[in-house]
Copies of this chain bind each other. A is one copy, B any other.
Amino acid sequence: MIGQDMIDRFIALLGPKGVVTDPDEIAPWVSDWRGRYHGAAAAILAPASTQEVAATVALAAELGVALVPQGGNTSMVGGATPPADGSALILSLRRMNHIRSLSRQDNLAVCEAGVILSVLHDAAEEQGRRFPLSLGAKGSATIGGLVSTNAGGTQVLRHGTMRALVEGIEAVLPDGSIFDGLDALKKDNRGYDIKQLLIGAEGTLGVVTAAALRLAPAIAARAVGWVGVASPADALALLRLTETLLGDSVEGFEVIADETLGFVLGHIPGTRSPIETRTPWHVLIEVDHADLSEPGPSERLEAALADAFERGIAVDAALAANEAQADAFWRIRESLSESEKAQGPALQYDISVPVAKMPAFMIDAAAAAEARFPGTTASSFGHLGDGNVHFHVRAPKGTGDGPAWIATQGQAINGFVHDAVVAAGGSISAEHGIGQMKRAELGRLASPARIGALRAIKAAFDPKGLFNPGKLIPLPGEG
């Protein structure tokens, strides 16, 4: 147990501003935002500089106190919730919220871990640049958390996940040493890539204190289109065609089942289908240009869609005539989760398979789930070009008690969906990470070589197991 004597040592180190002990102030940070995981912590440690983080980590190591690094507390998998037994303290990075530099010339921003994503977006925009990664939680998610979870979003097709956008990293390792890898080197072959190892490590190998992030030119012109297609296979054919014709300028490519579109039209006021024809599947596509050269994105997208009609890939299509219409198209995509929630209880899976296998997976896995769990309906939507969809299994119509349905059916459905993903050579976590939610399933499904490697690396960096205990690494009984 962590006693007051230990807390006092941290207060002596960080000052009263650096240690939060008021239970009311702590309360919002010991549960996840979805309310699924509930932990306890006697204090939140909030160092204000890299040196203070290093000193905090060193003191925690000396005292044998476990730490749970935390940014905006927006994890989807309970990754930032401390253990329920109070055996850890929260290490909050929110006071480290400075953008240390932002260079238009170098297309580079150096941000401390606590910088909120939308703050970086605004700062980049002021310089005629943009940071090309965004997600729903951008108003609270922090750079440190985005790095530590290798966050994705809707722009991955062109710009990649955080892995592709982080050019340098500063972190405090579990022994209190500072890993200073902030210099953004495009080529560096001095051995193992520690930077990539810390990206997506969910705070289990130390704590990220700052990152150098690559910026992209601001968007000068965009075209947004909505295309009705017959199948996910045709959607993939459309993606390949537009990539061939339009190259890297295809920035968004989202696939939506007609049934799912129906939920949006039914539940979200003011929405309407962009196309007249009822087609089984839909594609939302965005083409962006960083300059105003001719032909612009609208002309080029229009020409590509004409080609798609000729080839019989597209059934119907609409091009947004203006920014308001473009926003309306995207609003449909962004309302999918909300409208599905309104539709009734569902289990949601964030999964990936190789892109080429995705069209068949979307059809076959849904049919298999519906057959195996009578009454349920299953479908998926999302980032086809990344091989990543959100696969949902909805409770039978009329299911009143969602939590009870999940309690009785959840584990069986989880296992069924994950088995299908593994059979297709896929990943049970495409975007959200493992945290505590998927830890046991990772242990059940990953190969001995992968689990062995994860455990060996964890033990090498954090032999006492003080960094984000219970997250990511399967426990001894798990795999």
Please tell me if the beta carbons of A427 and B189 are within 8 angstroms of each other in the complex.
Answer: yes
Query: In the bound complex, what is the Cα–Cα distance between A290 and B106 (angstroms)?
Result: 27
Question: Residues of B contacting A386 with CB < 8 Å?
Answer: 186-187
By size class, the interface of chain A is 35 or more
Query: In the bound complex, what is the Cα–Cα distance between A430 and B332 (angstroms)?
Result: 46
Q: Mark A440-479, 1 if CB is under 8 A from B, else 0.
A: 0010001111101110110111000000000011000000
Question: Residues of B contacting A103 with CB < 8 Å?
Answer: 356
Please tell me if the beta carbons of A457 and B201 are within 8 angstroms of each other in the complex.
Answer: no
Among A111-133, those with CB < 8 Å from B are none
For the complex, is A352 an interface residue (Cβ under 8 Å from B)?
Answer: yes
For the complex, is A173 an interface residue (Cβ under 8 Å from B)?
Answer: yes
Question: Residues of B contacting A201 with CB < 8 Å?
Answer: 191-192
With A191-B473, A290-B247, A449-B178 known to touch, is A354 a contact of B183 (CB < 8 Å)?
yes
Please tell me if the beta carbons of B199 and A356 are within 8 angstroms of each other in the complex.
Answer: no
Which of A148-156, A323-331, A337-345 participates in binding chain B?
Answer: A148-156
Query: In the bound complex, what is the Cα–Cα distance between A244 and B425 (angstroms)?
Result: 39
For the complex, is A248 an interface residue (Cβ under 8 Å from B)?
Answer: yes
Q: Mark A183-195, 1 if CB is under 8 A from B, else 0.
A: 1111111111110
Please tell me if the beta carbons of A388 and B354 are within 8 angstroms of each other in the complex.
Answer: no
**How many copies of the shown chain assemble into the complex?**
2
For the complex, is A197 an interface residue (Cβ under 8 Å from B)?
Answer: yes
Of the residues B184, B429, B453, contact of A354 by C-beta under 8 Å: B184
Which of A22-30, A82-90, A431-439 participates in binding chain B?
Answer: A431-439
Q: How far is the CB of A410 from chain B (nearest CB, A)?
A: 20
Please tell me if the beta carbons of A175 and B452 are within 8 angstroms of each other in the complex.
Answer: yes
Please tell me if the beta carbons of B177 and A452 are within 8 angstroms of each other in the complex.
Answer: yes
Tell me the A residues contacting B by CB distance below 8 Å: 103, 105-106, 149-150, 152, 156, 161, 163-164, 173, 175, 177-181, 183-194, 196-197, 199-202, 205, 217, 240, 244-245, 247-248, 290-291, 352-356, 383, 385-388, 425-434, 442, 446-450, 452-454, 456-457, 459-461, 472-473
Having A177-B449, A192-B200, one finds 8 other A-B pairs with CB under 8 Å, namely A183-B425, A183-B426, A185-B352, A186-B385, A187-B427, A190-B434, A190-B450, A194-B454
27 A–B contacts, CB within 8 A, in A order: A103-B356, A105-B356, A150-B189, A152-B187, A163-B196, A179-B453, A185-B425, A185-B427, A186-B386, A186-B388, A187-B352, A187-B430, A188-B427, A188-B429, A188-B430, A190-B450, A191-B201, A192-B201, A192-B205, A192-B454, A193-B197, A193-B199, A196-B197, A197-B197, A197-B453, A217-B244, A457-B457
